[in-house]
Copies of this chain bind each other. A is one copy, B any other.
Amino acid sequence: MQLIDGKAVSASVLEECRAQVDSLAGKGLRPGLAVVLVGDDPASRAYVRSKERTCIELGIHSVKMELSTETSQEELMAVIDSLNEDEDVDGILVQSPPPPHIDERAIVLAIDPSKDVDGFHPVNVAKLALEDPGGFVPCTPLGCQRLLGHYKIQTKGARVVVVGRSMIVGKPMAMLLMSRGELGDATVTVAHSRTADLPEVCRNADILVAAVGLPEFIGRDHVQEGAVVIDVGINRVEDSVAKKGYRLVGDVNFEDVASRCRAITPVPGGVGPMTIAMLMSNTVKACAQRRGIETGDLA
């Protein structure tokens, strides 16, 4: 059984980004990422801080906008507009979830698609479906694909089962892996809460991607001997022994499943670190693309 090391792979993605940032610097360009936080949710705050820190490490210009919980839709829209206009900003991300009075969908629509490094704007959703490489793919599925690529796990002709049909992970993951090309060409099934006999469906998978948001939901009976398991879940479960009173577990029961697997991602340290790395990668891509430079030509 191979443990898929998301920390190591994300480090290599970040290394690649750093080289691209250096290469852009040689052209007098510096990618910029704006992260907008509305409210004071501690978890969101921590995510935003970690994005800022990673930007700084890579030499990416970081703009952090911290807005109060009372910020109105109009005020937030005005912030997005100004970031759309800002030539130093290549990527714009509004940390999710915003407070309940904010219409998140309208905010996503307001972001310039060429700066939509989260890949949630309809223009980018459509580009993924249309297999247009110029679009932005949501960071988590993009990170999963990168993990598979790094470990030379062939997707071409493989049977993939994605459990979960969210717009953030499940559907873009399916689209990405069924697309034509070296890291695609898989036969993809999307399973979900309405799927009949889920364990049996999952046992068909050469590659199983779990994105259901239920702690340790995927067990031994869901996994075919020799399968590759990608665990997208990050769930807090109470743990009186742990310092913080909780521990993080995935959607997969790791202990139960690992011994059957050809390869598996741990939680934490699997998909998690990839998400932020792909955000950086998308930001570099946005910077290059907005100036008509091919990222392939960098570094």
Contact = CB atoms under 8 A, between A and B. Distances in A.
Interface string A132-165: 0000000000000000000000001111000001
Contacts of A240: none
Contact of A188 (B130, B190, B204): B190
A187 B191 contact: yes
Contacts of A191: 187
Nearest to A127: B122
A248 B192 CA distance: 38
Contacts of A196: 157-159, 187
A171 interface: yes
Contact-residue size bin, chain A (C-beta under 8 Å from the other chain):
20 to 34
A173 interface: no
Per DSSP, chain A at the interface is mixed
Given A187-B189, A189-B189, A204-B204, A194 B157 contact: yes
A297 to B, nearest CB: 24
Highest count of chain B CB atoms <10 Å: which of A188, A189, A196: A189
A195 B190 contact: no
Contacts of A188: 189-190
17 contacts: A122-B122, A122-B130, A125-B125, A125-B129, A125-B130, A129-B171, A130-B167, A157-B195, A157-B196, A158-B196, A174-B174, A178-B190, A178-B192, A187-B189, A187-B190, A187-B192, A187-B196
